[in-house]
Structure 1
Amino acid sequence: MPAFVATFRNSRGKVESLTLEAADALAARRDLRRRGIQVDSLERRSASSAPQPSGSDTRGTRKASRLATLLEGRPGIREKAVFASKLAALVDAGVPIVRSIELMAQQQKLPLFKRALQGISLDINQGVALGPAMRRWPQVFDKLSVAMVDAGEAGGVLDESLRRLAKLLEDNAKLQNQIKGALGYPVAVLVIAVLVFLGMTIFIIPTFAGIFDDLGAELPLFTQLMIDLSSLLRSPFALLLVGALAAGVVLFLRYYATPHGRRRVDALVLRLPLFGDLIQKTATAQFCRTFSSLTRAGVPILMALEIVREITGNSVISDAINQSRDDVTQGIPLSIALASKQVFPEMAIGMLAIGEETGELDAMLSKVADFYEDEVGATV
């Protein structure tokens, strides 16, 4: 009788595996289901017939895979939202999951996304569930998407989980676009102003400087400073200034790439007037919306916290969520754990505490997300 290796997640969200004997894969899944185990993947022990991760990289091809990902481009949040929405409609209509993925692959225009869907289709045909098959393509599907699909498959409500995922991704995309729009205008104005200033200083002011020299008149202090600045920018010394500025930018980026530097800069950003408040409100809305969707879909709280900490975009807030996750494992309520970190507004923490007390955590978090999304919209 052939042996099968099953992988699954325990009640704490950690991956475990066990080996069992069965006549075939279907019998093995039935046996595991009777034991109350929701299987992520099931593979024959024989190396020749075991399903291989079509989306995984070997050491020799990892660099080539990164280059291919860079050239082909990662799918954006909107592309993934459309995928989840269409797949939900197909599943709800009763189309088999393998056929649904094949149809989506045929319609997909992005090369990387298309390859991922083709690989997922092959994996499913070999006995791998949709969630674990998606997990093998981390360059396309993040932990959030995989967790929502896992929860939907476990609860037998895959179509509903996919619709929630699509709605969540659309909300996040809308929020990101609001932030980009709010920041894009002042940045564009600043860049244009700097270019106009440099153009006037380098090309126009020298013309007036020659006229003033011919007149021999004493110039006001500000006018003289502008003429001196124009002379400086047209001198070889300007190249040194440009080089120093470029070196400063490179050093800053290298410092920001370190964990310590990223925390210091992100902490400073949160203290900036107006901008820091906007970042905090955005992170609060994303945290509440995503955490609510995950817990409503049946994802364990610890796993949900692990996922949401990666989407905040600020290392200080991410570290606070991670520390709160550790506190929750020790029996501390989430609201108390987050309150001690002081990274989220008091109102959000208070609403979270009420949700815990009433057993309506996901509904309360959804309301908090609505409120702070409106706040972000009003701010921008």
Structure 2
Amino acid sequence: ARVLEGHTLADALKDFPQIFDRLFRAMVAAGEKSGHLDTVLERLADYQERQAAIRTRIKMAMLYPAILLFIAMAVVTGLLIYVMPKIVDQFTSMGGELPVLTRAMMALSDVLVHHGWWIALLLVAVVVSVRRFIGARPSRQKRWHQWLLVWPIVGRVSRGLNSARLARTLAITTSSGVPLLDGLNISAEVLSNLVMRDAVKEAAVRVREGSSLHRALAETGQFPPIMLHMIASGERSGEIETMLMRVAEAQEREFENIIGVALGLMEPLVIVLMGVVVLLIVMAILLPIFMMNTLVTQ
């Protein structure tokens, strides 16, 4: 309706900030000014599709280990709650003394039977409380994000994804006619890691003071060296948009490789862990059976 009243499309989109973010509105405004709105919208559509594909890959990467862990916990819980007590009852009725391993597993079984739901509720409450505590203040969120960047695998994934998002967003904004400073400030808002978001804002200040883009990003110490080298090459050759797109593609490929390696390691790790736990439970069940046979023969 606002477009029919004579407003631009970018102005009309400002009424729906929850649907159309700052990046979308800025690029539409740039497309309207340059007369290439159709091209800008195509780039935005490609960008949204890529971001959706990345989110899907992340969810799928987390789903498989979660299913394995759920199955493992279900098997272990079933053995502890339903199988072991029956064996132990038969053994104790014959007057035998339970082995140490069996007594430990029975103690765990009793805890799960009598307090399992309370433990589950307590764990949920702890997770919710920690999330609310971290999210209550931006300073806490920033410290949490800084800590995530230090983790070997999680840090590389987070840094790579945010670097790819920055490069792709900046490539789209600059190629659509958005000034570099505006593009940096807009790109900062689409980053999920607060530490890297603040780093981009610091880089924007340095660019405003006359620094080159790659030097400004390098001084923050938050971005991969390969990304900085490619941006520097793009600045020297005058093809910064092309190099930024290549940076985004390279970082996304690295993300996929890291996820593939992590899944390859996690699957046997979960299986081995599940096997060890099940072995302990089976031993705790078999020991009374062997001792029961001994009592019968005596």
Q: TM-score range by the shorter chain?
A: 0.7 to 0.9
C-alpha separation between the residues in 1 aligned to 2:58 and 2:117?
Answer: 35
C-alpha separation between the residues in 1 aligned to 2:99 and 2:144?
Answer: 41
C-alpha separation between the residues in 1 aligned to 2:68 and 2:218?
Answer: 39
C-alpha separation between the residues in 2 aligned to 1:302 and 1:283?
Answer: 18
Counterpart pick for 2:126 among 222, 231, 248? 248
8 Å contact from structure 2 (residues 27, 178) kept in 1: yes
Identify if the C-alpha distance between structure 1 residues 361 and 213 changes in structure 2 by more than 3 Å, giving closer, same or farther: same
8 Å contact from structure 1 (residues 281, 375) kept in 2: yes
Q: Deviations over 1:113-169 (max 9, x none)?
A: xxxxxxxxx101111001111121112111111111111101011111111111111
What residue is the counterpart of 2:281 in the other structure? none
What residue is the counterpart of 1:207 in the other structure? 86
| 1:315 lines up with 2:203 in the alignment | no
C-alpha separation between the residues in 2 aligned to 1:328 and 1:298?
Answer: 17
Counterpart pick for 1:234 among 95, 113, 117? 113
8 Å contact from structure 1 (residues 255, 262) kept in 2: no
- Counterparts of 1:30-45 in structure 2 under 5 Å? none
What residue is the counterpart of 1:295 in the other structure? 174
Counterpart pick for 1:225 among 82, 85, 104? 104
Q: Shift of residue 181 of structure 1?
A: 1.3
C-alpha separation between the residues in 2 aligned to 1:194 and 1:311?
Answer: 37
C-alpha separation between the residues in 2 aligned to 1:296 and 1:365?
Answer: 10
Identify if the C-alpha distance between structure 1 residues 147 and 335 changes in structure 2 by more than 3 Å, giving closer, same or farther: same
8 Å contact from structure 1 (residues 285, 370) kept in 2: yes
Identify if the C-alpha distance between structure 1 residues 348 and 200 changes in structure 2 by more than 3 Å, giving closer, same or farther: same
C-alpha separation between the residues in 1 aligned to 2:74 and 2:244?
Answer: 45
Counterpart of 1:254, as a letter, is R
Q: Shift of residue 216 of structure 1?
A: 4.2
Q: Shift of residue 239 of structure 1?
A: 5.7
C-alpha separation between the residues in 2 aligned to 1:256 and 1:373?
Answer: 28
What residue is the counterpart of 1:363 in the other structure? 242
Three-state SS of the structure 2 residue aligned to 1:343 is coil
Identify if the C-alpha distance between structure 1 residues 155 and 202 changes in structure 2 by more than 3 Å, giving closer, same or farther: same
What residue is the counterpart of 1:324 in the other structure? 203
Counterpart pick for 1:191 among 70, 86, 92? 70
Q: Which has the higher helix share?
A: 2
- Counterparts of 1:44-83 in structure 2 under 5 Å? none
Q: Which has the higher strand share?
A: 1
Q: Shift of residue 234 of structure 1?
A: 2.3
| 1:286 lines up with 2:171 in the alignment | no
What residue is the counterpart of 2:49 in the other structure? 170
Q: Shift of residue 379 of structure 1?
A: 2.5
Identify if the C-alpha distance between structure 1 residues 202 and 307 changes in structure 2 by more than 3 Å, giving closer, same or farther: farther
8 Å contact from structure 2 (residues 92, 98) kept in 1: no
Counterpart pick for 1:179 among 58, 65, 70? 58
C-alpha separation between the residues in 1 aligned to 2:33 and 2:96?
Answer: 85
What residue is the counterpart of 2:185 in the other structure? 306
C-alpha separation between the residues in 2 aligned to 1:344 and 1:135?
Answer: 32
TM-score, normalised to structure 2, is 0.80
Counterpart pick for 1:259 among 131, 138, 155? 138
Identify if the C-alpha distance between structure 1 residues 251 and 214 changes in structure 2 by more than 3 Å, giving closer, same or farther: same
C-alpha separation between the residues in 1 aligned to 2:54 and 2:25?
Answer: 22
Where do 5+ consecutive residues of structure 2 fail to align? 260-298
What is the percent sequence identity of the aligned residues? Answer: 35
Q: Shift of residue 215 of structure 1?
A: 4.2
C-alpha separation between the residues in 1 aligned to 2:213 and 2:70?
Answer: 44
Counterpart of 2:242, as a letter, is A
Q: Deviations over 1:157-198 (max 9, x none)?
A: 111111111111111211221222112211222233223333
C-alpha separation between the residues in 1 aligned to 2:27 and 2:77?
Answer: 52
What residue is the counterpart of 2:273 in the other structure? none
Three-state SS of the structure 2 residue aligned to 1:128 is coil
Which sits farther off after the overlay, 176-185 or 156-165?
A: 176-185
Q: Shift of residue 329 of structure 1?
A: 2.0
Q: Shift of residue 291 of structure 1?
A: 1.0
- Number of aligned residue pairs: give it: 258
Q: Shift of residue 365 of structure 1?
A: 0.7
C-alpha separation between the residues in 1 aligned to 2:164 and 2:107?
Answer: 50
C-alpha separation between the residues in 1 aligned to 2:200 and 2:101?
Answer: 51
Q: Shift of residue 295 of structure 1?
A: 0.7
What residue is the counterpart of 1:140 in the other structure? 19
What residue is the counterpart of 1:153 in the other structure? 32
Counterpart of 2:133, as a letter, is Y
C-alpha separation between the residues in 2 aligned to 1:267 and 1:234?
Answer: 40
Q: Shift of residue 367 of structure 1?
A: 0.9
